[in-house]
Chain A
């Protein structure tokens, strides 16, 4: 018998995140209003109480992320969401969560910056997301949806990976993906096999071990041991959890690489290039941390020309350069974020033409 598939719905990217969180079993959300992500707290303030969940509009982003820390320590699935300025405020809590090995999902609907910046699409928080963002030297899982369907699916994946690897996970999108509407199949929660959370604070009966959720390590060698443990865990993530999409890479003479909303524009430009007889393909990283190095390493054995496209002056390109074969060239085209800076497909097609050179 065929499985019953859920009916398609037509929703905004931000709403898809909120719906997916509830489907994933998230029952606590703590957040603070900021454009362009406020649909998420609005949706959850309405829908979480209906499933017995807790919603708090916190006093600040700092308050919100620390509520996430406290709830996560008790073992529940918990989420917060924000954008640029708010994500900066949350970095303190994210660092403490990383130091305390706490899971939790943070949604970042990127807007232009620095400072108050603007509310237009941006990818300029790539470094902040993939390099840890806060103090101390840590990484978090970073997933980059490129469609409303992926906003839904990757939010659920973020909860699973976060629980599985005991570290915060971020869904990194931008105002284009957050605000646009597309049809979505609201898939059921994946049946991931997750380890029991034996480490949670719960109050305990006599004879049970004391559970302490903490990030302070003062003993000789303790802090160093923690770092090596996490280093090994990041390696495990890189080995097992890299995700990416490849489009027409098999015969490509030029491989465009872009994530999130930019990859959508790039796909149209690549179709134009193919129409014009140019062999152009795409690698779209879905996991930004761990970065899918092996995709670039393998393809650059044959294809020596890459073009990174970003809504910034160039951040992901650093990871691309570290991933490709030494003799591969990585060109760049970027538009810093802000009103009016979203490139058109024609503009990207011009960049493809400029960089393309067919092998003889």
Chain B
């Protein structure tokens, strides 16, 4: 019998702790497929962040450094400068990257560090129980915005893919989603392009992946997918915001 679908070599044969309908698993798989397809698993160092993505080392069959909350781009900078022959990527959530780690991501991007950043935006703090994230949508109820996010007090959501695309150090910046087969196919292409930037030494690459968090949104997986389409994509438009090497 011909095998047409299998687990990527870069992923371990284990089940994850992710909730049903969570998109972390999909993003993990697409990153793993990119590592497999470039044949770079044996030279890759992953940098895990704080939040639901901290267990990167439990699922990826690669060497991993666990970074303090928000500091993954600085940790990755140190690793890449010390080992420029390695492929280094960070995997961060929205609280990690766009709140406590805003300084580290902006400066790593602005220096044009030769790293790849995978940013999972699910508009909430997943691990700590669904508090307001820097990307929480206006009016969105969370455990710390029980009356909905009030932009007059909490500010507006950060659009990270656009924000970083304004920096000269950035080679590639794109936003993808995982709520439909079509978007997953597109996400796969973009994630691969992001890693191609690093493989070909074309500069800093950034992927923002819009993701569902059914548990903290209080939705079933189907409704959560629908929310990505109906509420998130209109606010966070998908697309390529910077592509200096035209890859």
Q: Which residues of A contact B (CB under 8 A)?
A: 27-28, 30, 54, 56, 58-60, 62-64, 66-76, 78, 92-93, 96, 100, 201-206, 210-216
- Stretch from B81-89, B131-139, B164-172, B194-202 that touches the partner: B81-89
CA–CA, A340 to B111, complex, Å?
42
Judge whether A210 and B107 touch: CB under 8 Å. no
Q: Is the CB of B82 within 8 A of A70?
A: yes
| Inter-chain contacts of A56 with B (CB < 8 A) | 77, 81, 111
Q: A72 contacts B78, CB within 8 Å?
A: yes
Give the interface SS of chain B, mostly helix, strand, loop or mixed: helix
Q: Are B82 and A69 in contact (CB under 8 A)?
A: no
Q: Please, could you name 16 A-B residue pairs with CB atoms under 8 Å apart, sorted by A?
A: A62-B71, A63-B104, A66-B71, A70-B65, A70-B75, A70-B80, A70-B82, A76-B83, A201-B65, A202-B63, A203-B41, A203-B43, A203-B62, A211-B63, A212-B63, A214-B57
Return A214 CB to nearest CB of chain B, in Å: 4
Q: Which residues of the partner chain B approach A63 to less than 8 Å between Cβ atoms?
A: 71, 74, 77, 103-104, 107
Interchain CB contact under 8 A, B57 and A212: yes
A206-B82 in contact given A62-B103, A212-B66 (Cβ < 8 Å): no
A67 / chain B contacts, CB cutoff of 8 Å: 74-75, 77-78, 81
Question: Complex formed: what's the CA distance from A58 to B73 in Å?
Answer: 12
For A58, list chain B residues within 8 Å (CB): 74, 107
**Looking across the interface, which residue of chain A has its beta carbon closest to that of B64?**
A212
Contacts of B67 in A (CB 8 A): 66, 69-70, 96
| Complex-state Cα separation, A66 to B67, whole angstroms | 8
Q: Do A204 and B68 touch (CB < 8 A)? A: no
Contact A73 B71 (CB under 8 A): no
Q: Which of A68, A93, A213 has the most CB of B within 10 A?
A: A213
Q: Which of B35-55 contact A (CB under 8 A)?
A: 41-45, 47-48, 54
In the complex, how many angstroms separate the beta carbon of B23 from the nearest chain A beta carbon? 22
- Decide yes or no: A54 and B103 within 8 Å by CB, A70-B47, A211-B63, A212-B57 being known contacts: no
- B68 in contact with A92 (CB, 8 Å): yes
> A66 to B78, Cβ gap below 8 A?
yes
Not counting A96-B67, A203-B41, A210-B61, a sample of 13 additional A-B residue pairs whose C-beta atoms are within 8 angstroms of each other reads A62-B71, A62-B74, A63-B77, A69-B71, A70-B77, A70-B79, A72-B78, A76-B83, A100-B66, A203-B42, A203-B62, A206-B42, A214-B57
- Whether B63 pairs with A201 at a CB distance below 8 angstroms is yes
Q: How far is the CA of A70 from the CA of B43 in the complex (A)?
A: 16
Complex partner residue of B82 from A28, A60, A204, CB under 8 angstroms: A28
Per the CB 8 Å criterion, the residue count for chain B at the interface is: 35
Q: Give CA–CA (A59, B71) in the complex, Å.
A: 12
Query: Using Cβ atoms and an 8 Å threshold, which residues of chain A touch B57?
Result: 210, 212, 214
Query: Using Cβ atoms and an 8 Å threshold, which residues of chain A touch B41?
Result: 203
CB of B76 closer than 8 Å to a CB of A: yes
Distance in angstroms from B47 CB to nearest chain A CB is 7
Distance of B164 from chain A, by nearest CB (Å): 15
B48 partner residues in chain A, CB cutoff 8 A: 214
Which residues on B sit within 8 Å (CB–CB) of A215? 66
User: Shortest Cβ distance from A265 into chain B, in angstroms?
Assistant: 39
Chain B: which residue is nearest A104 at the CB level? B78
Cα–Cα, bound, A72→B86 (Å): 15
B60 to nearest A CB, angstroms?
9
Is the Cβ of B81 less than 8 Å from the Cβ of A54?
yes
Would A71 and B81 count as touching, CB distance under 8 A?
A: yes
Contacts of A93 in B (CB 8 A): 68, 71
User: In the complex, what residues of A have CB within 8 A of residue B83's CB?
Assistant: 74, 76, 202
Contacts of B43 in A (CB 8 A): 203
The 3 closest A-B pairs by CB, nearest first: A70-B78, A67-B78, A66-B74
Bound form: Cα–Cα A64–B71 in Å: 10
Q: Give complex CA distance A100, B61 in Å.
A: 19
User: Which A residues are in CB contact (< 8 Å) with B86?
Assistant: 74, 202-203
CA distance in complex: A132, B77 (Å): 25
Give per-residue flags for B15-46: 1 if the beta carbon is below 8 A from chain A beta carbons, else 0.
Answer: 00000000000000000000000000111110
Q: Which residue of A is nearest B67, CB measured? A: A66
Shortest Cβ gap from A72 to chain B (Å): 7
Report Cα–Cα, A78/B82, bound state, in Å: 9
A92 to chain B: which residues have CB within 8 Å? 68, 71
How many angstroms from the CA of A202 to the CA of B82 in the assembled complex? 10
Residues of B within 8 A of A205 (CB): 42
Residues of chain B with a CB closer than 8 A to A213's CB? 64-66
Distance between Cα atoms of A216 and B65 in the complex (Å):
11
> Are A201's CB and B77's CB within 8 A?
no
A66 touches B104 (CB 8 A): yes
Contact B79 A74 (CB under 8 A): yes
A122 to B83: give the CA distance in the assembly, Å.
38
Which parts of B136-168 form the interface with A (CB within 8 Å)? Answer: none
Measured in the bound complex, the distance between the Cα atoms of B82 and A68 in whole Å is 10
Say whether A71 contacts B82, CB under 8 Å: yes
Tell me the complex Cα distance, A68–B77, Å: 9
Interface 1/0 per residue, B86-125 and A, CB below 8 Å: 1100000000000000011011000100000000000000
Bound Cα distance from A96 to B62, whole angstroms: 21
A44 to B: closest C-beta gap in Å: 13
* Smallest Cβ-Cβ distance to B75: which chain A residue: A70
A96 touches B65 (CB 8 A): no
